[in-house]
Amino acid sequence: MTRDWLAAIGEDPQREGLMRTPHRVAKAWAYMTEGYGQTLAEVVGEGVFAAEGSEMVIVKDIEFYSMCEHHMLPFYGRAHVAYIPNSKILGLSKFARIVDLYSRRLQVQERITTQVADAVEELLAPKGVAVLMEGIHLCMAMRGVQKQNSSTTTSAMRGLFRSDPRTRAEFMSAVQGTLRGR
């Protein structure tokens, strides 16, 4: 498959530097699309606990790497997830696992954002959940559709983050613009 692709773009699949490329591509793609073979229950495991308070929890700067389904090129950036517990909390390391679960597929950033929010809702039934993702899309940057440094922001706001402007503002001021600052 990769061999055909190499030939189609005018390469010689037999030249030395490309001999093992199909093998390497297959391995890389298996990793980058690992999310298809996993479930939310598997990645969360025993990570849900009883809540002791109801203060906002914000997990910032979760790195994500995904592949756009329109061009099969990478997009990557940072995800920020916040929630207000009701009766359950989630171990902090699990948020990164959830982001990976949905990122390691062919995706659009909007869908990952929604899926992460849905997952937190499903697991914790919190008073509110917010997800903000900031991504750089190589399908735009490499093809010169946009300036290299422009990023795409997507968000999903549920419960109190949707109904209470102060809660939303507290989250947004805590997380916004962290990608560009690096």
The DSSP element (H or E) to which 136 belongs, if any, is strand 128-137
Cite the DSSP H helix spans in the chain.
2-8, 21-32, 40-44, 93-103, 109-124, 138-141, 160-163, 165-175
Q: Least distance (Å) from Zn ion to the CB of residue 67?
A: 9
Q: Is 23 a catalytic residue?
A: no
Q: Which is nearer to Zn ion, 134 or 159 (CB)?
A: 134
Identify the residue among 71, 88, 111, 162 touching Zn ion (CB under 5 A). 71
146 is catalytic: no
DSSP class of residue 87 equals: S
Segment near Zn ion (CB under 5 A); pick from 70-78, 84-92, 99-107, 116-124 = 70-78
Among the residue ranges 13-21, 39-47, 136-144, 166-174, the one whose residues contact Zn ion (CB under 5 A): 136-144
Q: Which part of the chain contacts Zn ion (CB under 5 A), choosing from 1-9, 25-33, 41-49, 138-146? A: 138-146
Among 44, 68, 79, 98, binds Zn ion (CB under 5 A): 68
Contact pick of 139, 152, 162, 176 for Zn ion (by CB under 5 A): 139
The one-character DSSP state at 126 is -
Contact criterion met (CB below 8 Å) for 113 and 78 = no
Residue 3 interacts with Zn ion (CB under 5 A): yes or no? no
Q: Which of 80, 107, 109, 115 is catalytic?
A: 109
Element (H, E) at 27: helix 21-32
**Paired tokens of 5:** 């692709």
Residue 16 annotated as catalytic: no
Give the list of residues 6+ apart from residue 28 with CB closer than 8 angstroms, or none: none
84 vs 133, which CB is nearer to Zn ion?
Answer: 133
Q: How far is CA 1 from CA 13, 23, 25, 73, 105, in A?
A: 11, 10, 10, 17, 19
156 has which bridge partners?
131
Candidates 70, 91, 92, 150: give the one binding Zn ion (CB under 5 A). Answer: 70
By annotation, the residues acting in catalysis are 68-71, 109, 137, 139
Q: Which residues bind Zn ion (CB under 5 A)?
A: 68, 70-71, 139
